[in-house]
Amino acid sequence: MLSVKIKKVPTTLVCTKAGKTTTWQVRTTGASGGSSGTTATTMPAGGTGTTSTTVPAGGTSTSSFVTEVSSSYAVLADSPFTRIAAGAVPSGYLAAMGLASTTGTSLYDHPSGLASNGTNLVLVDRGNNRLLVWNTAPTSSSSLPDFVLCQPSTTSTASGSGLAQCNWPSDAVVTRDGKLLVADSDNHRILVWTTFPTATGQAANFAIDLGADAWPWGVWSDGTKVAATLTGRGQLKIWNSFPTTGSEPADITISGNTSNCLGTPRGIVSNGTAILTGDHNGKCANSSVAHVFASWPTSSAAVPNYDIVPDDANYAWPHGAFDSSSGKLYLLSKKLMEYPSAPASMPTGTPIATTTSFEGGDGGDVEIVNGYTYVTEYNGNRLAVFKGIPAATAKPAFYLGSPGEDSTGTPVNTLLTNYLVTNPQVATLGGAMAISSDFDRKLYVWKKIPATDGAKPDLVWKTQNLNDSNPLRAMDFQPDSNAATTAADGRPLFALAGEKTFVVWRSIPTATTDSPVLNIKDSIGNVTFGGKLRVAADNKYFYLLDGEKKVIYVWAGLPADKNDSPDFTISATVDRIRSDGTWLIGTSLYTSPNILVWPVSSLSQNVAPTGTVGFRMNLPQDALVANGVLYVADTGFHRVLVWNSISAALAGASPDAYLGATSSTDVSPAHSATDLRWAASLWVANGYLWVGERKFGHRVLRYALS
């Protein structure tokens, strides 16, 4: 058991456990978490008022570790309810512009593919399930698209499967004779407009159906030949004559193997002779590459002549375009590279625009139109536009989808300025809310749990802050799991864990002066961490999962310090853990059964789970129990499974509810006011269920229990 003694200011926190004592110098924050010069309005009974934060002159206060945001929102009232109704739909959201809407055509959501016929410009706005079309490629930042495809309006973003709809499109190509083809990834098809569309919502003429699990990411055509990557099947398909109905089989199918090295092929680049296929997980020596066929493949046995490997092989695969005027090849990975062409042997590339830091990622692209070079920054949520071909140190002439550079010279990322959190994980504690993100390397904090849709946080904490003068704040890791609870000592505990690191606060840090009480990296006590950590906690134990070592380390109460070894360990092949004080839940992504269950009262050295949940799931990334109800984020099937009794789940019963799905058999991804895309994190408290979408979605959806 952990005992705590608080002395006078400046506070000394003395923790004693099993004869071990440690002392930290910390600042007091008061019973409610403290104050940093901000003020908040007093809440009426029931929590229905609003909270507002007043910041010093200048609008935003910053330190090396935390940014204070000017925010105003209604506070969510607690609810006494503990169950969720079958067919429940979201009652609110965060980290989104709308449940299935956006503000217009100037705000993107992870833009990816670019296409042009030499005059126009088409941008695939992937997260918004649409294409933005300029009849003439824009030459200034103020130029808005002329119309939108795959949506009936400029603000709608819902996915769909009709010929006038898309579902997470990835790439596009415009042929010189006016055809438009779109890789409609989650619909497993290629949409085809046989003449170039002219109006918002105009339907495609037909679709090339690629079949279940195709997941096409790349498409190319010159108006006669067509090529597409089927990422889900690890294939490159080629039609040597243009399909007219969509039912024509491909002439050539190259399936991935150790000869051609295709793993999960993504984008396609071609000049009609050479063809390059980007690959996220190549089967040979290099995983992130562009496989180059120097001449057009003529059989399914064709193999690439060579691979183009980016400087950082852990970064995105190279993707881009040939310049039709010069014949040169331009590819973006972490850097923008120029190649003389795609000859039979590996060409030497030249970095260009080297003073521009591109945030490309899994959707970067390049297109050259009428004397301008357009570069998609997928993770930067913008297009960098250069006048002409960029010189070695050229800077963009302007940006699309971004207001430009901030006062530090950094291009504005509108995902960040609109708080569209990537990979969100929710926790609430003591009336406050925190959303962590491994991708963002940030912790977003609301001083009160917001009821206002899309409410901005009050504070944003960085977890990439290695040089802070306070050793408890000096950290650099990607927080991939969190825990919030009343701990064994009766005090609140909030923890983050990630890359061989875990950090603990004694509340959600709602004041800029709040510092962690533990910041542990690489090892603790007699334990050396092997990989990414996951954290859980309850009113008896503190848990750390080392997934690489397949071990759960357990402490009775909070670890005292870096020298405190765990009280016992549990061997378990799981990827995430959660505890409500009654049940410890382990979630396994790849090993069936996916859900392992231990009663907390039974925990001891290497105790085996007492039960499992054998219901069919696909890559579940989170599971927890609240009020006896089991919730599972069935990520790969894009839904949340709910059993109103964990005992029934352990006994083999089917779920009582399927959230984000139209039925028990609906396992397809979708983006709408009711559907879910990659549901991956869960939190239940105060009468609400919160669901965070991951990777290919980013909304945090709130469901009211009943």
Lowest mean pLDDT, pick from 12-21, 240-249, 599-608: 12-21
Q: For position 311, what pLDDT does the model report? A: 83
489-521, pLDDT tens digit by residue? 999 999 999 999 999 999 999 999 999 999 999
Q: For position 40, what pLDDT does the model report? A: 33
Assess contact for 330 and 337: CB atoms under 8 A: yes
Q: For position 658, what pLDDT does the model report? A: 97
* Residue 84 scores a pLDDT above 90: yes
Confidence of residue 646 (pLDDT cuts 50, 70, 90): very high
* Residue 43 scores a pLDDT above 80: no
Query: How confident is the model over 646-656, as a mean pLDDT?
Result: 97
Query: How confident is the model over 345-349, as a mean pLDDT?
Result: 94
* Residue 127 scores a pLDDT above 70: yes
- Tell me what percent of the chain is helix, strand and coil, each rounded to the nearest 5: 5, 40, 60
Q: Which CATH class is domain 111-365?
A: mainly beta
Q: For position 20, what pLDDT does the model report? A: 37
Confidence of residue 57 (pLDDT cuts 50, 70, 90): very low
Query: How confident is the model over 7-30, as a mean pLDDT?
Result: 33
Residue 283 and residue 263: Cα distance in Å, rounded?
A: 5
Of all residues in the chain, the percent with pLDDT exceeding 70 is 91
* Residue 52 scores a pLDDT above 70: no
283-309, pLDDT tens digit by residue? 997 789 999 999 999 999 999 999 999
Q: Which helix (H) or strand (E) holds 190?
A: strand 189-193
Residue 561 and residue 546: Cα distance in Å, rounded?
A: 18
Q: Yes or no: is domain 3-95+419-704 CATH 3.50.30.60?
A: no
Confidence of residue 63 (pLDDT cuts 50, 70, 90): low
Of all residues in the chain, the percent with pLDDT exceeding 90 is 87
Residue 577 and residue 558: Cα distance in Å, rounded?
A: 17
Query: How confident is the model over 156-162, as a mean pLDDT?
Result: 98
Q: Which residue type is seen at 386?
A: F
What average pLDDT does the chain have? 91
Query: How confident is the model over 134-146, as a mean pLDDT?
Result: 97
Triad 627, 631, 637: Cα angle to 5°: 170
Q: Which helix (H) or strand (E) holds 115?
A: strand 111-115
* Residue 271 scores a pLDDT above 50: yes
530-551, pLDDT tens digit by residue? 999 999 999 999 999 999 999 9
Per DSSP bridges, beta strands 189-193 and 180-184 are antiparallel
Assess contact for 85 and 689: CB atoms under 8 A: no
Q: Is 290 helix (H, G, I), strand (E, B) or coil?
A: strand
Query: How confident is the model over 302-322, as a mean pLDDT?
Result: 91
Write b or e for each residue in 144-183: b if 16 or more Cβ atoms lie within 10 A of its Cβ, otherwise e. Answer: ebbbbbbbeebbbbbbbeebbbbbbbbbbbbbeeebbbbb
What is the edge-to-edge ordering of all strands in the sheet holding 398-400? 365-369, 372-377, 382-387, 398-400
* Residue 54 scores a pLDDT above 60: no
Numbered ranges of CATH 2.120.10.30 in the chain: 3-95+419-704, 111-365
Q: For position 247, what pLDDT does the model report? A: 95
Query: How confident is the model over 83-108, as a mean pLDDT?
Result: 97
Q: Which residue type is seen at 108?
A: Y
DSSP structure string for 611-676: EEE-S--SS--EEEEETTEEEEEEGGGTEEEEES-HHHHHTTPPPSEEETSSSTT------SSS--
Confidence of residue 232 (pLDDT cuts 50, 70, 90): very high
Beta strands in 203-342 (DSSP E): 206-209, 216-221, 226-230, 235-239, 252-255, 265-270, 275-279, 289-293, 306-308, 319-322, 329-332, 336-339
* Residue 230 scores a pLDDT above 50: yes
Q: Who contacts 362 (Cβ-Cβ below 8 Å, separation ≥6)?
A: 112, 266, 280, 316, 378, 379
From the list 229, 223, 240, the residue with the least C-alpha distance to 263 is 229
From the list 553, 544, 540, the residue with the least C-alpha distance to 599 is 540
Q: For position 50, what pLDDT does the model report? A: 38
pTM of the predicted model, to two decimals? Answer: 0.90
606-631, pLDDT tens digit by residue? 999 999 999 999 999 999 999 999 99
The DSSP 8-state label assigned to residue 355 in this structure reads T
